[in-house]
Amino acid sequence: MSNLDVKISVIMPVYKVEEYVGKAIESILNQTFKDFELIAVNDGTPDRSGEICEDYAKLDNRIKVLHKENGGAPSARNMAIEIARGKYFYFLDSDDWAEPTMLEDMYILAEKTKAQYLVTGYYIDTYYNDTEHITDDMTYEDRVYENKEDFRRDAYNLFDRNLLYTPWNKLYLASYIMENNFRFPHTFWDDFPFNLMVIRDVERVTVSSKQYYHFLRAREESETAKYMPQMYEKREEEHGWMLELYEYWGIKDEHSREFLARRYIERLIGCVENITNKKCDLDKKEKKKEIKKIITTTRARENLKLAKPGSLMMSVMLIPLRMGNGKLTFMMSSFVTMVKSRNTKLFATLKSRR
């Protein structure tokens, strides 16, 4: 395949996904759109994931497998970007899968609208046992933003529907990425800062309400089990990024300000839940003290005043936070943690409604 034939470079980091990577690859090989290359980067995986990719590469010359020492998904994606030949970049996670018309529909729409950045809807499939799951639909209305000001004014709606954080529901114009030297930063949750770089000065954005990508939740090492010692600090840093972006954009309308406040509080609740995770090694007294500290900061109090809960459940969850009551917040979060660990289905249902 010559360079001129490669319309889309599909880039996929691979690490400890031997049970899933075959389905991910097949979902790309089964695309109705054929003018692509798939670059799989084996990021020093200790299992058979790299071998599985090589087996597929022997069957289809559109697949190229790179091997490197373990350095994380950002370094794997960046390695592939350097050799990618497509007019557009598409980033696939190796434990998810895509509907067969995804690349074709995205390519046609990107070409038609001359998009630098094309965003689509997606599905969150949360499995509560080996075969059964519930699905959340993440989507927004079809939009072609005529200029960057229109996009910036409406970005809060896209953020609010979780459409601007991840790379796998998007098509990126390769020349835009390369000319601006955008790369995935070597940090935890690298998707978000990468997209912040891309949208900071983007001119041509297109949104499709159609959904193609299936993001799978409830793997053994997923959010239902993890404890992250630095989660609060990381969330504070992220909020700073968002404030800086909106300051740079000059967007200060009421809707955007309320969204930023609510987003902060929703993630603050996640930080509280992280503290009540049974894998957190603080004792009960220390947990209550830490919770009290993070819910009574000046930033927390200001955002609690601005945030407007979108559901009855969230309104109830905010009561102890608005009271600044560490003990009640601890009790509420401990209940949520119990549900999270014992009933994935119920937790996923409650989360989708908050």
**Among residues 217, 239, 257, which one ends one of the domains?**
217
pLDDT at 319 over 70: yes
| pLDDT for position 115 | 98
Residue 224 lies in a domain: no
If asked whether residues 27 and 91 sit together in one domain, one would say: yes
Same domain, 9 and 155: yes
Please tell me the predicted confidence (pLDDT) of residue 345.
65
Domain count, the chain: 2
- What b-and-e string marks burial along 172-190, b requiring 16 or more CB atoms within 10 Å of the CB? bbbebbeeeebbbbeeeeb
Burial of 266 (0-12, 13-18, 19+ CB in 10 A): middle
Q: Could you report the per-residue pLDDT of 206-245, keeping only the tens digit for each? A: 999 999 999 997 644 444 457 888 999 999 999 999 999 9
Q: What is the mean pLDDT of residues 176-185?
A: 98
Same domain, 258 and 193: no
Q: Find the domain containing 7 and state its range.
A: 3-217
**Given this model, what pLDDT does residue 186 score?**
92
Nearest to 291 by CA among 331, 338, 234: 331
Is the same domain home to 238 and 209?
Answer: no
Last residue of a domain, one of 217, 252, 278: 217
Work out whether strand 117-127 and strand 133-138 pair parallel, antiparallel, or are unpaired. Answer: antiparallel
Based on the fold, state whether residues 135 and 250 are members of the same structural domain: no
268, part of any domain: yes
Backbone angles phi, psi at 199, to 5 degrees: -85, -10
**pLDDT tens digit sequence for 135-152:** 999 999 999 998 999 999
Residue 222 lies in a domain: no
The pLDDT, as a whole number, for residue 83 is 98
DSSP line for 3-57: GGG--EEEEEEESS-TTTHHHHHHHHHT-S---EEEEEEEES-SSSHHHHHHHHH
Does residue 275 sit within a domain?
yes
> What pLDDT does 274 receive?
93
Measured CA to CA, the distance from residue 151 to residue 158 in angstroms comes to 9
Question: Which of these, 331, 350, 330, lies nearest to 340 by C-alpha position?
Answer: 350
Residues 126 and 196 occupy one common structural domain: yes
**Statement to judge: residues 172 and 241 lie in one domain:** no
Same domain, 121 and 22: yes
Residues with Cβ within 8 Å of 331's Cβ and at least 6 positions away in sequence, in order, are 320
Instruction: Check residue 67 and give its pLDDT.
Output: 97
User: Is the predicted pLDDT of residue 199 greater than 50, yes or no?
Assistant: yes
Centre a 10 Å sphere on the Cβ of residue 6 and count the other Cβ atoms it contains: 18
Burial annotation 210-245 (CB, 10 A radius, 16+ → b, else e): bbbbbbbbbeeeebbeeebeebbebbbebbeebeeb
Domain co-membership, 138 together with 243: no
Task: Please check whether residue 52 lies inside any domain of the structure.
Answer: yes
Confidence band, pLDDT 50/70/90 cuts, at residue 1: very low
Q: Are residues 185 and 61 in the same domain?
A: yes
Whether 89 is in a domain gets the answer yes
pLDDT range class, residue 189, cuts 50, 70, 90: confident
**End of a domain among 191, 217, 243?**
217
Res 45 pLDDT > 90: yes
Q: What was the pLDDT predicted at 129?
A: 77
| pTM, full prediction | 0.92
Q: Taking residues 35-47, report their average pLDDT.
A: 97
The DSSP annotation for 238-304 comes to HHHHHHHHHHHHT---HHHHHHHHHHHHHHHHHHHHHHHSTT--S-HHHHHHHHHHHHSSHHHHHHH
Averaged pLDDT of the chain: 92
Residue 63's CATH number: 3.90.550.10
Q: Could you give the CA distance from residue 200 to residue 207 in angstroms, rounded to a whole number? A: 17
Q: Are residues 239 and 306 in the same domain?
A: yes
Position 34 in a domain: yes
Q: Do 124 and 154 share a domain, yes or no? A: yes
Q: Residue 11: exposed, middle, or buried by beta-carbon count in 10 A (0-12, 13-18, 19+)?
A: buried
Assess if residue 226 is contained within a domain: no
